[in-house]
Amino acid sequence: MIVSRLQRVGAASVGALPPLGGGAVGEADLLRARLADSVWGFAGVAYFAGGRCAGWLLLSPPPAAPAELAFEPDAAVLTALRVAPSESLRRVSKELVRGACARLLRAPRPVAAVEAAPAAGCPDVSGGLLAELGFVATDRPGIVRLELSATVRWWRGLSELPGRLGELVQPAPPVEPARRSELRV
């Protein structure tokens, strides 16, 4: 049996996350976690290695983010990303962001992207690290964005599949009524 190293973090379990690399969960994080859980069904993800928590990531809906930051309403906001000092920051961060994006793609409410403000809203994560993870600068100062559509892998030729199926399935010819001359016995 394969056990996933990523686990969903709900609002009820946010308070139990260990203080890693940048501090513990605060009151604002707990409030944002409750809002995220009510919107998407989860508040973040945790990465486990060797039976212990190696890192965790928390998300927030845009209305719960600090008012001075202009996040788009179609995005989830990265509010915290913490990694244990003994772990690889890039590797664990990459797993956390991938796991969060995968869950957001299956969330009950649609989300188009994940946004972060490295200098203000999420100071424990550098802009350089976020750029390595696929985040790009926006026209709004200090905010970076990762489009969820950019995180989805497509199989080669998958876009052609519906056309091919349409060629294989052809409609049946129309039914013609029998003629009287053919009904002689």
Give the per-residue pLDDT at 128: 86
Give the per-residue pLDDT at 18: 86
In a domain, 30, yes or no: yes
Residue 141: pLDDT band (50, 70, 90) is confident
In a domain, 43, yes or no: yes
Per-residue pLDDT tens over the stretch 87-98 = 888 999 999 999
Number of domains in the chain: 1
In a domain, 158, yes or no: no
In a domain, 28, yes or no: yes
In a domain, 184, yes or no: no
Question: What CATH number should be reported for the domain holding residue 127?
Answer: 3.40.630.30
The rounded mean pLDDT for the chain is 82
Query: With 80 as the cut, is the pLDDT of residue 165 above it?
Result: no
Residue 158: pLDDT band (50, 70, 90) is low
In a domain, 34, yes or no: yes
Per-residue pLDDT tens over the stretch 6-21 = 899 998 888 888 888 7
In a domain, 87, yes or no: yes
Domain span holding position 60: 6-153
DSSP the chain: ----SEEEE-GGGGGGS--BTTB---HHHHHHHHHHHHHHS-SEEEEEETTEEEEEEEEE-GGGS-TTS---TTEEEEEEEEE-TTS-HHHHHHHHHHHHHHHHHTSSS---EEEE-TTTTSTTS-HHHHHHTT-EE-SSTT-EEEEGGGG----TTGGGHHHHHHHH--PPPPP-PPPGGGG--
Residue 161: pLDDT band (50, 70, 90) is low
